[in-house]
Structure 1
Amino acid sequence: MARINLLDTRTSNFGELIGNGKTYQVPIFQRDYSWGPENWEDLWQDIVSLYEGKSTSHYMGAIVLQNHSTTDKHFTVIDGQQRLATLSILGIAVIQKIKQLVAQGIDIDDNEKRQKILRRTYLSDEDPRSLKASSKLVLNENNNDFYQSYLINFKSPKNIRSLKKSDQLLWKTFQYFSEELDKLTDIATDGFKLAEFLTDTVARKLLFIQINVDDEINAYTVFETLNARGIELSTTDLLKNYLFSLFETSTDLEAAQRQWRRIVNTVPMPKFPDFLRYYLSLSNIRVRSGQLFKIVRKDVMDAEQAFRLLDELEAYSSLFIALGDANDDFWRDLPEAQPFIREINLFRVKQAYPTLFATYEHFESDNFIKTLELISVLSFRHSIVSGWNPNELEKLYNEVAMKVATARIKTPRQVFEVLKKVYVPDEKFQQDFALLTIPTKGQKKLVRYILQKLEEDAAQRSDEMDSFSIEHILPESPNEKWYQDFSDDQIDEWVYRLGNLTLLEARLNRQIGNEHYHDKLKVYQESVYALTQDIATPDWDTEAIAKRQRRLAKRATHIWRSSFAS
């Protein structure tokens, strides 16, 4: 490995980073802004704790900078652009509040001075020669135009939905901090306190480990070394910078950068490590997240291999995204796949992605559909009903993917032969289904799916039934009459048993509310749903629920059965 020459490592607060005429450039190929609500909220809570005196400082982690001048004024941001951009936007939100005070006629002269000083300190300096403003932070090519044209200039975009997703996130970051500042009522209408909040809390108490590196060190080597020392850097950044380091000509590098942008514009950055893991599983068994970069580095060692990898990632990127969305345009020419894609997403079956990558690439369309159906049925039996650990499927799905990719598996039946060891047999599935409990409060979509499939089978139709309500025969909040048949413990145990659930029109559901079973029964006969009309037992108790669920279990056994099973 090349020797790493760290120019210096120091602790710096945000004010020291952004002050004294320093400027920061995010590389044009660096990832787009991707922080979301969870990141903003975590940061804001830390800042509020500092403001309220609950803590004296907060470390923001390492920021890695490459210096481009002898004056230590101009830097490329190797790692830390998300945090710098977010804090810059917080500064914009504070300054905007002070500008609003001026517009409202509050302490006009002092607030005018404050907002000008704060803007010059945290956002942009004026060149003493040209008198033109120079932004302290320049984002990547996808985000910089919006940052400079709108945020820095305190302008609101006219049509939020027309913005690219990362620009929408930039704007939502600004809105979030603006709203949170309003909640700090002791400072929201006081320019002095707003300025103090930015300069004394945000700028002085947020600390970074600042690492400056020599110009000659390429980004890949820096990332690899820092990662080995325990500084958290993303696999995506490691991969990207390593691949770019393999290209010796500017023409090849620019072509690779364009291709990389196409890939990450398709696959969002938070999903990229999973995408890479599923792709690598086409040729490696049980790929772990921590192994991704090592595997790529071992297999890709020159520009030709790097281009080949980029080509294949780009080819699979659209399929990866489409597997997570049944309504994606990708399925326009293969609509038969959509119901199974919905089911696989409902069951959260990510382990099957390598198999789906391989079978989509190597099978005819009808055999790919059959594979989708097999995986859906197997997943429902294995993970949803019988509750087996889905992680044990990963090795088998990787095995299938590798065998499909090398033509050792050519048909869906051969896929089943590998997977049948985790295919739950009918007898076991029926027993488990007869005891299935699913809380509707957290898994309503899954309950609706199961009831709809049961109803379609009972009524021998496959109509869209989006309008039905889930009826708890024994209600979630039963009235006093129900306690004649159920104790508190029995209510907790049986209310979410599948045998206690049925489909009902919304108007009828509102009509019967939490009434007793005898009052509900006549309304059930008015329903158009076959499963509901079939409820006719004289009383509703634990035995009635169990008996109905055993009948549903028999029906479920042939609904969710693979045609390849004996």
Structure 2
Amino acid sequence: MTWLQAETVRLGDLLRGKSFVIPAFQRGYAWGPEQVQALLDDIFSPRYTDLGNYFLGAVVLEQESPNRFRVVDGQQRLVTASLLLAALAVKNTALKSFLWLPSGNPVLQLRNRDSEVYGKLLKDPPKARKSSPLGQAMVVLRTFLDSQPAKAQKKLAFTLLEQCELVRIVAPDGGRAFQIFETLNQRGLELSAPDLTKNKFLWSATDEALPEVTQLWGKLEDLLADELPRFLRHFWCAFVEPVSQAQLYEAVRRHLDARAPEQVLELTRALWTSAQHYQVLLNPDDPQVSCPARARRPLELLKSFGAKTCRPLLLLGWRLYPQELSWLARLCEVITVRSRLLTGSVTPAALESAYARTCRLVRERLALELGVSDFDAFGVSALMALNSAVLAELGPLVVEDKKLLSGFKDLRLNRLDQRWRTFLGQLLDLEQSDQLEVKHLLATDLPSSHLKALGLSRAQSQRWLHSPANITFVESGGSLEQSSLEINHSLTKDWDLESLK
């Protein structure tokens, strides 16, 4: 058998007497009104019709039987073209032979989520509603046809079926077809890394596992939405290996290719479990998420600090030993504040690298293998591995109290950004700290009562301007000793009126 067959065909010849199915790994119909309108403008533009044909692009197919194919790539164009045929068939019933098989099934069979809507649109295009991408596409197509004279619509059907051409690529088996799919989408950037990752999971799953794998990926997409790309990378850094966003899909591909198809379901279940944990890391203050009570406050602080590099370690620790999530979150809080916010001595890249090394060390000490290892079986050995790895890789990043206090006293608030102001607002337990200006945290002109308490003249106090060592902090010292912010316990212990002088 040849590696593949490629030929140029007219759309009518492609559809005539054939049936096509969209496999489960494909995303649903996703074209918006602008893309549909652009296709119409191109197909029926005089500059193309005068030339005689229009190139619709390539479709990659896997042949299941002589007249039945799986659509590996090209779904969006084929579905849009079939919707246009359905709209034209309202007045030209002969076109229905390109839409329906003798069995009564559609020539093009879509995924479960789209199948019902698509079937209704084929049967009754005028009832299209904008409640789905498919419905929106049909509304655009109907609006276009309504603007055309009746005679012109017959010509439109001829143009679509006889003058629109595609390159039909038929691969002999699923593996070859997916290789072509990967190449087209990686080079053309038509799909994102999460799209390709999902497709690889669904393609690699066994037939028995495919329904559950498909369902879990749908739940993943619904739960995390725009955060899905970052979650996938953080998950991979936590449980497999450090990887950049650009390298993510290639890392997933290598990993799945080296695993048995039976392991794909366990991998997907692990993804779903950690996705629920990740949702808590994103929104620990949301009453709708199930956040462990003791971990809520430190996770809220990490969110307010914009701390993302610690998430792989939190995901790994939560899965291995959930009882100590609050300890791990407080540790990340201390490291974040001391190493990055206060001193700036550790760059975000260095911090991310340290967290990645910590995760790797934990995996090595437990011989953890994603999709194979039973996380519940590690028990206290998981806690020991976490403790030793944290001490080895993150311990050196924790700034000592003496250096911390020195760095804090030397800060110049007029050089700080909004995140710093937010942090200091939390440090002083002020309400709505994200809305405060520097002047709310440190009076640039101290009240007379404060000057009198310090025994200073107004001129002498000027050297303290833009410094956090001021009466506001001192007067808050008592309450700050009870603060949930770990750094307060170090600062308030040694910070008094005498230290200001």
Q: TM-score range by the shorter chain?
A: 0.5 to 0.7
**C-alpha deviation, 1:437, in angstroms:** 3.8
| 1:419 matched to 2:394 | yes
Asked if the contact 1:9–1:209 (Cα under 8 Å) also holds between the matched residues in 2, the reply is yes
Asked if the contact 2:12–2:98 (Cα under 8 Å) also holds between the matched residues in 1, the reply is no
Amino acid in structure 1 at the alignment position of 2:178? F
User: Which residue of 348, 356, 360 maps to 2:318?
Assistant: 360
Amino acid in structure 2 at the alignment position of 1:143? D
Aligned to 2:25: 30
Size of the aligned set, in residue pairs, is 429
| 1:286 matched to 2:242 | yes
Amino acid in structure 2 at the alignment position of 1:79? D
Asked if the contact 2:37–2:140 (Cα under 8 Å) also holds between the matched residues in 1, the reply is no
Aligned to 2:214: 261
What are the Cα deviations for residues 105-133 of structure 1, in whole angstroms up to 9, with x where unaligned? Answer: xxxxxxxx863338936972374xx8x5x
What are the Cα deviations for residues 50-107 of structure 1, in whole angstroms up to 9, with x where unaligned? Answer: 666788998765422123443x4x3222233344345555766xx3xxxxxxxxxxxx
Asked if the contact 2:22–2:111 (Cα under 8 Å) also holds between the matched residues in 1, the reply is yes
Aligned to 2:456: none
* Aligned counterparts of 2:463 and 2:159: Cα–Cα separation in 1: 61
**C-alpha deviation, 1:20, in angstroms:** 2.7
- Spell out the pairing of 1:340-379 with structure 2 (5 A cutoff): 340-341=298-299, 344=302, 349-365=307-323, 367-376=324-333, 378-379=335-336
* Aligned counterparts of 2:65 and 2:312: Cα–Cα separation in 1: 47
Q: What is the SS of the residue equivalent to 1:402?
A: helix
* Aligned counterparts of 2:21 and 2:331: Cα–Cα separation in 1: 50
Aligned to 2:455: none
User: Which residue of 154, 177, 199 maps to 1:222?
Assistant: 177
User: Which residue of 374, 378, 396 maps to 2:354?
Assistant: 396
* Aligned counterparts of 2:298 and 2:466: Cα–Cα separation in 1: 25
Asked if the contact 1:286–1:394 (Cα under 8 Å) also holds between the matched residues in 2, the reply is no
**C-alpha deviation, 1:264, in angstroms:** 0.6
* Aligned counterparts of 1:345 and 1:176: Cα–Cα separation in 2: 40
What are the Cα deviations for residues 346-373 of structure 1, in whole angstroms up to 9, with x where unaligned? Answer: 66655433212211022343x3123234
* Aligned counterparts of 2:239 and 2:140: Cα–Cα separation in 1: 49
* Aligned counterparts of 2:462 and 2:21: Cα–Cα separation in 1: 65
Asked if the contact 1:62–1:80 (Cα under 8 Å) also holds between the matched residues in 2, the reply is yes
Amino acid in structure 1 at the alignment position of 2:197? T
* Aligned counterparts of 1:552 and 1:207: Cα–Cα separation in 2: 74
Q: What is the SS of the residue equivalent to 1:30?
A: coil
* Aligned counterparts of 1:564 and 1:4: Cα–Cα separation in 2: 72
Aligned to 1:80: 74
What are the Cα deviations for residues 496-525 of structure 1, in whole angstroms up to 9, with x where unaligned? Answer: xx537x6xxxxxxxxxxxxxxxxxxxxxxx
Aligned CA distance change for structure 1 residues 144 and 313 (closer, same or farther; 3 Å): same
Aligned to 2:260: 301
Aligned CA distance change for structure 1 residues 415 and 26 (closer, same or farther; 3 Å): same
Aligned CA distance change for structure 1 residues 432 and 548 (closer, same or farther; 3 Å): closer
Instruction: State the TM-score, normalizing by the size of structure 2.
Output: 0.64
Aligned to 2:6: 9
* Aligned counterparts of 2:325 and 2:335: Cα–Cα separation in 1: 15
Amino acid in structure 2 at the alignment position of 1:261? T
Q: What is the SS of the residue equivalent to 2:177?
A: helix
| 1:174 matched to 2:171 | no
**C-alpha deviation, 1:24, in angstroms:** 1.7
Aligned to 2:498: none
Task: Give the number of the structure whose residues are more often helix, by fraction.
Answer: 2
Aligned to 2:200: 238
| 1:551 matched to 2:468 | yes
Asked if the contact 2:312–2:356 (Cα under 8 Å) also holds between the matched residues in 1, the reply is yes
Asked if the contact 1:114–1:191 (Cα under 8 Å) also holds between the matched residues in 2, the reply is no
- Spell out the pairing of 1:175-194 with structure 2 (5 A cutoff): 175=136, 178=139, 189-192=147-150
Asked if the contact 2:62–2:72 (Cα under 8 Å) also holds between the matched residues in 1, the reply is yes
Asked if the contact 2:25–2:198 (Cα under 8 Å) also holds between the matched residues in 1, the reply is no
- Spell out the pairing of 1:480-495 with structure 2 (5 A cutoff): none
Instruction: State the TM-score, normalizing by the size of structure 1.
Output: 0.58
* Aligned counterparts of 2:147 and 2:466: Cα–Cα separation in 1: 61
Amino acid in structure 2 at the alignment position of 1:372? A
* Aligned counterparts of 2:331 and 2:395: Cα–Cα separation in 1: 10
Amino acid in structure 2 at the alignment position of 1:291? A
Amino acid in structure 2 at the alignment position of 1:236? K
373-382 vs 394-403, which deviates more? 373-382
* Aligned counterparts of 1:196 and 1:545: Cα–Cα separation in 2: 85
* Aligned counterparts of 2:314 and 2:112: Cα–Cα separation in 1: 34
**C-alpha deviation, 1:32, in angstroms:** 4.5
Asked if the contact 1:340–1:372 (Cα under 8 Å) also holds between the matched residues in 2, the reply is yes
What are the Cα deviations for residues 207-228 of structure 1, in whole angstroms up to 9, with x where unaligned? Answer: 65421123xx2x2343236646
* Aligned counterparts of 2:26 and 2:407: Cα–Cα separation in 1: 48
Aligned CA distance change for structure 1 residues 157 and 19 (closer, same or farther; 3 Å): closer
Asked if the contact 2:128–2:139 (Cα under 8 Å) also holds between the matched residues in 1, the reply is no
Aligned to 1:67: 63
* Aligned counterparts of 2:47 and 2:397: Cα–Cα separation in 1: 52
* Aligned counterparts of 2:121 and 2:44: Cα–Cα separation in 1: 28
* Aligned counterparts of 1:546 and 1:189: Cα–Cα separation in 2: 75
* Aligned counterparts of 2:151 and 2:340: Cα–Cα separation in 1: 55
Asked if the contact 2:19–2:107 (Cα under 8 Å) also holds between the matched residues in 1, the reply is yes
**C-alpha deviation, 1:333, in angstroms:** 5.3
* Aligned counterparts of 2:178 and 2:415: Cα–Cα separation in 1: 52
* Aligned counterparts of 2:84 and 2:466: Cα–Cα separation in 1: 55
Aligned CA distance change for structure 1 residues 344 and 457 (closer, same or farther; 3 Å): closer
Aligned to 1:475: none
